Structure 1
Amino acid sequence: MGHAEWARDLAENLLRKPLPRRWAHTQGVAARAESLTPILGEEADLLTAAAWLHDIGYAPDLVDTGFHPLDGARYLRDVHQADARICRLVAHHSCAVYEATERGLLDALNAEFGLERPELVTALTYADMTTSPDGLPLDVSDRLAEIHSRYGPEHICNTTKARRLLPKVPGCRGTPDLGLRPKALRASSVWSLSVPCRSPTFSQVRDILQKFLRREDLHGQRRFLDQHPCL
């Protein structure tokens, strides 16, 4: 049994009944991750496994700190002795470092789980932030707007994720305006951000990953990481 197959069974067991919408999102993220198989080759199994497991820290039985990347990664490490690379990806997915800072958990996060290779973190961020809560493909700006709407403007997710992540996902530019638009709210349960921002395309992610995997364009890699420090 590969990592991904094991991870799917575990995530389903933890999420499907208590958190059906979270389970739907997880299935969509895993599908996005799996679509990168032609690029990642053997490492696609690792990324897909992390995608299945990235949100298990929300499972009621796993909640400890209330910070789901850390709770999920600790569970994988301590209970299942999971591959350390999967634990690192889960612990640091989608700019978790910023929310950890807000929660006073940055030292614990970094002490227990180092950073995984940037190309894999980039790929997992792409999969997570372009998938709706119902598992459907979604533009990253709409995804952030949905998060903001679901949690409310004062929630810690919204004081960190949108401001930090939107300019740092490949293909996104500008600073989001998190003000509510009443007309958009009346028209849809998902309200929009005022700054146009397109999600990272498959070709953009493909090009980034291929350069990393071929170990080419070292200056470009360094420049990319300087521009996108949370990845």
Structure 2
Amino acid sequence: MYPNMDGGLVSWAFQIAAAELGGPLPRRWTHSQGVAARAVELARLLEADCALLRAAAVLHDVGYAPRLALTGFHPLDGARFLRDVHGADERLTLLVANHSFALMEAEERGLREVLESEFPPLEDQRLVDALVWCDMTTTPDGEPTTAEARVAEIVSRYGADSVVGRFIRRASPDIFAAVVRVETALTAHPR
């Protein structure tokens, strides 16, 4: 059962992500937990949307779960699972579907029209940037890092000429700009 947008949302999201990623993909689960931990750091910027960001952060890679990987494109597979199986909130599914400039990767995979028609980009730039920051400043092992180091790690892991390598190189200016916007907002709103 899918909870309302309250305190139960985060625990529900953690349960779903743990069930789907914890056993088959423990490193992906560790990364997702680290991304969700980064989301807590943005609470003062997002206030009412903090629970939504934390839920999206822990669920952003759920589409990698082997039983959910129907298209092989994890943002689309994860968002469909959340929408179709769990009846998840539209903003949550849009964040998962479009996290970290997924439309660019969808284009590389010939899935842009599909992704865009089912899950158009969320218009709330604060939330979009926040999820990019959380994901792109967290290592595969769940530790904080810089966006530059994270992009370099992704290119190294997948290869520069792979679909993911081409996408991440194309998306890197947008990723870096989103990270700068979030870090500027954090500096302007100290604890």
1:30 corresponds in structure 2 to 36
- Give the Cα–Cα distance (whole angstroms) in 2 for the partners of residues 87 and 160 of structure 1: 21
- Give the Cα–Cα distance (whole angstroms) in 1 for the partners of residues 100 and 177 of structure 2: 15
Give the SS at the match of 2:70.
coil
1:206 corresponds in structure 2 to 186
**Structure 1 unaligned runs (5+)?**
173-198, 211-231
Change over 3 Å in CA distance of 1:205–1:57 after alignment to 2: farther
Query: Larger C-alpha radius of gyration, 1 or 2?
Result: 1
| Residue type at the aligned position of 2:67 | D
CA deviation after TM superposition for structure 1 residue 207, in Å:
6.5
Please give the residue correspondences for 1:1-231 in structure 2 after superposition, counting only pairs within 5 Å: 1-116=7-122, 117-164=124-171, 166-170=172-176, 200=180, 203-206=183-186
2:4 corresponds in structure 1 to none
Contact 1:170–1:204 (CA<8 Å) still a contact in 2?
A: no
Runs in 1 of length 4+ with deviation above 4 angstroms?
A: none
Give the SS at the match of 2:34.
helix
Higher fraction of helix: 2
| Residue type at the aligned position of 1:123 | A
- Give the Cα–Cα distance (whole angstroms) in 2 for the partners of residues 168 and 64 of structure 1: 28
1:194 corresponds in structure 2 to none
Change over 3 Å in CA distance of 1:87–1:207 after alignment to 2: farther
Contact 1:70–1:91 (CA<8 Å) still a contact in 2?
A: yes
| Residue type at the aligned position of 1:115 | P
CA deviation after TM superposition for structure 1 residue 11, in Å:
0.2
Contact 1:77–1:87 (CA<8 Å) still a contact in 2?
A: yes
Give deviations 1:92-112, integer Å, cap 9, x for gaps: 000100011111111111111
CA deviation after TM superposition for structure 1 residue 62, in Å:
0.2
How many residues are matched?
Answer: 182
- Give the Cα–Cα distance (whole angstroms) in 2 for the partners of residues 86 and 157 of structure 1: 23
- Give the Cα–Cα distance (whole angstroms) in 1 for the partners of residues 182 and 115 of structure 2: 30
Identity, % of aligned positions: 49
Using CA pairs below 8 Å that are at least 6 residues apart, which structure has the higher relative contact order? Answer: 2
2:3 corresponds in structure 1 to none
- Give the Cα–Cα distance (whole angstroms) in 1 for the partners of residues 126 and 114 of structure 2: 23
